[in-house]
Amino acid sequence: MKDLAQMEQISLLAMSLYSSLPHNISQNLTNFTGPLFISNKTQDCGNGHNIISANEMVSSLPFQMTLYFNVVFFPFWWTSEVTMLQLKYSLLPEYYQWLLLMVVIILALIECVRLFLGYVGNLQEKLPELAGFWLLSFTIQLPIILFLLTDQSVIILPLEQTVHILYFTFLVFELVVGFQALRQMTNHFATRFCLQQFQKPEHSQQCKRKQGTGIRHGKNSVSNV
- pTM exceeds 0.75 for this model: no
pLDDT score of 5: 46
What residues have CB less than 8 Å from 7, skipping those under 6 apart?
A: 42, 193, 194, 197
pLDDT beyond 70 at 84: yes
pLDDT score of 6: 47
Please write the tens of the pLDDT for every residue from 33-55.
655 555 444 444 544 444 445 45
Work out the average pLDDT over 173-202: 75
188 pLDDT band, cuts 50/70/90, is confident
